[in-house]
Structure 1
């Protein structure tokens, strides 16, 4: 029967020799002798398979001895089936292990009635799977650890996503709260731009007026210089004419001849003085006394006659010249005062212009700083929003991958649960059949 069963086994593993099996089992710390392999018994095979179930499946003897409360609760007399339930758990675990190892036709007869060759084949399959398991266990543990890390990472990312979403909401709310201030700053910037344009126009106008005032000051300065030159010439003429006045009558006769000689020259001077006098509008008060003195001198010189008349004409010319000098001095004083007034106005306008320029620069700088600050804040908020969105997209992708992996794990877990449920139903059916057979036996014995 064992040989017939062997024909259905697909050997996807190497068939080991007896000494190889003993050496590997000793390495696995499973005590077994060569006699146990040469003449296997139910006890030795039970012990051997229990060790493999504990090594590979993870179910030890203590676990097998534990009561199966869930399955027992479905039985009418659970206390009668404690051993059978434990035996069924061991049988199911061993059957699953053999299916995985490639022994598709394994049955409990291989435990209760072992055959030497059949046992060698089964042990070769178990050892081959054990080696395969050891080779991949580290990778499996790494995958489990990675899965745990991914699960923890997924939770962290979910928390981070929630935190980022909260930050985005806060930033949006803050942006909405600050939007009126931003709009107000934009309005202020527009007002400042209009004011700056107005100030620029005013600056251009002030530059034009400043140039006109400077030109006027230059013209008035030239006119004042000309007037000063004319006054100086008039003073020289006055001094020269005063030197011709004779203080005493004794010297007058002697000088008459000289005066006659210079009469022609004096007439020319008088013509020039008359021409200058027409441009003057007032008399010098200081020369009124000189005119009075000249009249007294004329009264004393009545005996001179015609010569003194000529001399009086000369004095009148001097008077006219003095009046012209006074007029020129007054005009010079007026021009000087006007020049001072214009210079003062120019200084005030320059000061006002400088103040306006300073205010304009300050406002322009403040507006520029405000605009730069708002632009930087807007760029910072936009960058932060983009970074948050990028993180959210990245986290969403990562979470999607984790969800897919979790779905795969859950599906695998669900499949395993379903298999356990199937085994449980099989156990329940077998226990029911066993219970029915037991009742039938009891009924038969009673009859």
Structure 2
């Protein structure tokens, strides 16, 4: 007792603590500082010890009279069975409070410093017990919240699986409509390919007509140049003509014939130009319609590629979801294994408690045989080390279970996010497919009307 591993408290602190935390209301009123200093009262000290036992182990005062009287017959008559029972119980419990030399004199003839030291040790142990109980209650509350959260996550995962199954499967009443849309899309692809070939032939014909129009315009320009040169020649020849009426008439007739032929050729060229212009306008209109159809086909191709891409993303998301489900199942299996390991640890603790009880019974038998009780501190320290080791392992298992639950919660949130993106993408895909199908039907109707 010369070297303590716990702090010693003052008399005022000890009196205030035992009044508030240990003694009953009537006992706390009569408990004062004079009961401990300068000379502690044996009855007061015994009452404190008795109330501490009742607080820790629910060992009521009337239970002290139920202790076996075999060792009591060997004890001197200077103290009662109550005192012997109290001493025997505190002899077993005080080593937990780091007090190893508790004796009968501490109950029958208590000393001031000795009593204050023992009460300080008990006070420190009660503070430690209260702190640990608060921590255990807080951990139990967190554990219950985690279990509730895990159950909610599993329910949400099941709902998500049902929704995904509903979205991925086509209902029987819509199967016929889906087959009709697929057949209409295939027919539309064949018609567009055929029309695309016809457009190519028309474009080739238009190119040929353009080349012919260019040749005709070139010939027309050459003819205009020839006419202008002929007019110049006529003006030159007029100055050189000998005025003879017959030759003049013959030349005039020839010139009239040539002019008439030129006019006829010019009119034919103009008519041909008008026809070519009307043909060019029709070709340009056809080209515009072809460009519109090509745009629709490009949009359809882009929508089909987007649909295929979204289907690939859907397959990837389903694969990720299945992977997450497998990981969740593995985590549940690991949790079950950890629970089984925890149960095994608890069984070991129960076995250790049984062994400890047997040792206590052996000690009680030894007390019955011999007066007094020799403390076996080394064995108690070994048992305390084993208990601390087991408690450390249980804390590690609880920390691992908590980490697994956190991982499970994160994976569940990821699965929920994947499901939300998947449902949004599927809705958008259905809307775009419906819009493109309507556009293609309108385009096909217009093309059939034009044809």
Q: Normalization by structure 2: what TM-score?
A: 0.49
Greater C-alpha Rg: 1
